[in-house]
Amino acid sequence: MPIKVKLDQRMKAKGISLTELSERVGLTLANLSILKTGKAKAVRFSTLEAICEILECQPGDLLIFEDE
């Protein structure tokens, strides 16, 4: 898939764990892990909005397009 998720890098930069982000976003740890590892097929805008709010970033900071 040409869209890559850079959630891990942003979390590391903000010093927040997957567990803490999961609790604050209101997403299960398993579902957030799927997103973090790039295995998600889709993401809801409401989820993306919540993650961006907590990590103080823009969607473009989390998602990149890499042509294969």
What's the pLDDT tens digit per position in 19-37? 999 999 999 999 999 999 9
Residues 35-64 pLDDT 10s: 999 999 999 999 999 999 999 999 999 999
Any idea of the CA torsion for 64, 8, 34, 50, to the nearest 10 degrees? -80
Query: What does the radius of gyration of the chain's CA atoms come to, in whole angstroms?
Result: 11
Give the separation between CA 68 and CA 63, rounded to whole angstroms.
15
Name the superfamily (CATH) of residues 3-65.
lambda repressor-like DNA-binding domains (1.10.260.40)
pTM for the full model? 0.89
SS3 sequence of the chain = CCEEECHHHHHHHHCCCHHHHHHHHCCCHHHHHHHHCCCCCCCCHHHHHHHHHHHCCCHHHHEEECCC
Domain segments of the chain: what residues?
A: 3-65
